[in-house]
Homo-oligomer: A and B are copies of this chain.
Amino acid sequence: MEIEEILDKLLNNEIDKAEAIKEIKGFEDLGFAKIDTNRKERCGQAEVVFCQGKTDQQVIKIINSLRENNPCIIGTRLEKDRYEKIKDYIPNPTYNEAGRILISGEAPSVDSNLKKVPILCAGTADIPVAEEAACICEIMGSPVCRIFDVGVAGLHRLLSFKDKFEDANVIIAVAGMEGALPSVVGGLVKCPVIGVPTSVGYGTNFKGLTTLFAMLNSCANGISVVNIDNGFSAGYIANQINRTNL
């Protein structure tokens, strides 16, 4: 509800003053965490729990609290051994190992009316990040098309899949090393390309920094980037774009 609407309701005695104040707040306070209860209404998606850097107890409490108002909650960056330790305290848990993703509850099924999101990666070592992106897309309802190991050193491999990605609504291009994949892809398509630099490489790769900067300097148009190894973010945005105007 907009402020004006709340004020109207207040003036019309439809809600009382306490309700008006609570409506503006929009979260529940657990002390060490403030559960963002109206995130879904505001952002179209319930809070996603970034598990890295939180203790097991914190993850358990936050997810349980969020589940009170949401049929399905996602936790990211959760290593398998941590999942094993906490799964008994999570309602309806499932786990995607490749994407290191915990799902509590029933994920909505993929919407087959949506276009497939092509998820390309340059090398075999980039697959974990690409998988994180793919899982998030699917959990949020967008079908995907995995096209892995199509780096630019063997250009013909990439080009042979052109029909699979050239009519997409949005493409995710995951790469480490020199990060040239988004540039080459961007020069072949009409839709936006989300570049995901990975920390795959050594020496002057600087854990993905070179790749990131290379992608930001792309000579092709239509390319935006997310943080290094951030498959989650790429998948999240790709799903947003894929649903535009629907």
Chain A contacts to B: CB under 8 angstroms: 2-4, 7, 10-11, 17, 20-21, 24-27, 31-34, 36, 38-39, 42-45, 47-48, 52-54, 58, 62, 115, 122-125, 127, 148-157, 160, 162-163, 169-170, 177-180, 183-184, 186-192, 194, 199-230, 233-234, 236-237, 240-246
A244 and B170: CB pair below 8 A? yes
Q: How far is the CB of A104 from chain B (nearest CB, A)?
A: 17
- Given A27-B160, A222-B43, A188-B155 contact (CB < 8 Å): yes
- Given known contacts A224-B233, A246-B245, is B184 in contact with A122 (CB within 8 Å)? no
A31: shortest Cβ distance to chain B, in Å?
A: 7
Residue in contact with A155 in the complex, picked from B10, B17, B187, CB distance below 8 Å: B187
Closest-by-CB residue of B relative to A26 is B156
Q: Complex formed: what's the CA distance from A246 to B187 in Å? A: 22
Bound-complex Cα distance A163 to B25 (A): 13
Hey, which chain B residues are within 8 Å of A225, CB to CB? Answer: 216, 224-226
Question: Once the chains bind, are B11 and A45 in contact (CB under 8 Å)?
Answer: no
The answer to whether A2 touches B163 (Cβ under 8 A) is: yes
Determine how close the nearest CB of chain B comes to the CB of A97; give it in whole angstroms: 12
A–B Cβ pairs within 8 angstroms, 15 of them: A4-B17, A7-B17, A24-B160, A32-B127, A43-B189, A52-B125, A53-B123, A53-B124, A152-B187, A153-B184, A190-B240, A192-B237, A202-B229, A203-B217, A244-B245
Best-surrounded residue of A11, A26, A44, A224 (most CB of chain B within 10 A)? A224
Q: How many copies does the complex hold?
A: 8
Find the B residue at minimum CB distance from A125. Answer: B53
Quote the shortest CB–CB distance from A148 to chain B (angstroms).
6
Of listed A27, A42, A178, A225, residue having the most chain B CB within 10 A? A178
Closest to A122 in B: B219
Q: Which of B157, B204, B219 contacts A178 (CB 8 A)?
A: B219
Selected contact of A180 from candidates B127, B183, B194, B244, CB within 8 Å = B183
- Give the docked Cα–Cα distance between A160 and B152 (Å): 17
